Amino acid sequence: MLRERLKDFNIILASGSPRRQDFFNKLDVDFVIEVREIEEIFPNHLQASEITEYLARLKASAFKDLTHKDIVVTSDTIVWKDGKAVGKPKDVEDARRMLRNLSGTMHEVFTSVCFTGKDFQKTVSDTSKVWFKELTEDEIDYYITQYIPFDKAGSYGIQDWLGYIGIERLEGCFFNVMGLPTRLVYKTLCKITEQ
């Protein structure tokens, strides 16, 4: 359905994330992948979804040479806990520290998706709340060793083993926690094609 609506557009997914690429395939969208390097630094005063919105737009700013048929899709996801962003772990010890911090508590996951054309830009955001059970040190070590979550914000993937055994409750969109609020992407692309 979406493939037909987008047939006159060139959808560019500016993400190296295999998960986001898989989502676009499952949404039945024809797209190309083009990632342009940009330094992902945000101003310190930004909070929660302001950070993801800023970074999604920043990633889009690398695309200056768009035609009228191009739509660039950029996005960013953060884990938010105790009033600050929890990024990707630098090493094993950092991953352990992050997972201990998430253990037995609730955190939020913010994702923003920016749609940029030659003459327009639209950004949508979503929030999910995730509750973890108390994780044991053995569970944390097993997960880090077996799943090597260094490319994931907060050191975990909800779709991985830790999500299966550790998530007690989720409020909001599951796919948002994986890195893309798919229903919002679908809705926004449909609206763009109606213009």
Of all residues in the chain, the percent with pLDDT exceeding 70 is 99
pLDDT at 3 over 90: no
Pick the catalytic residue from 30, 76, 119, 141: 76
- Residues 104/137/85/129 CA torsion (nearest 10 deg): -30
Question: Do residues 182 and 24 make contact, with C-beta atoms less than 8 angstroms apart?
Answer: no
Q: How many domains does the chain have?
A: 1
CATH code: domain of residue 103 = 3.90.950.10
- Residue 76 a catalytic site member: yes
Q: What is the pLDDT of residues 116-149, one digit of tens each?
A: 999 999 999 999 999 999 999 999 999 999 999 9
Q: What is the 3-state secondary structure (H, E, C) of 124-140?
A: EEEEEEEEECCCCHHHH
Residue type, 35: V
Q: What is the pLDDT of residues 167-177, one digit of tens each?
A: 999 999 999 99
Q: What residue numbers bound the domain in which 82 lies?
A: 2-194
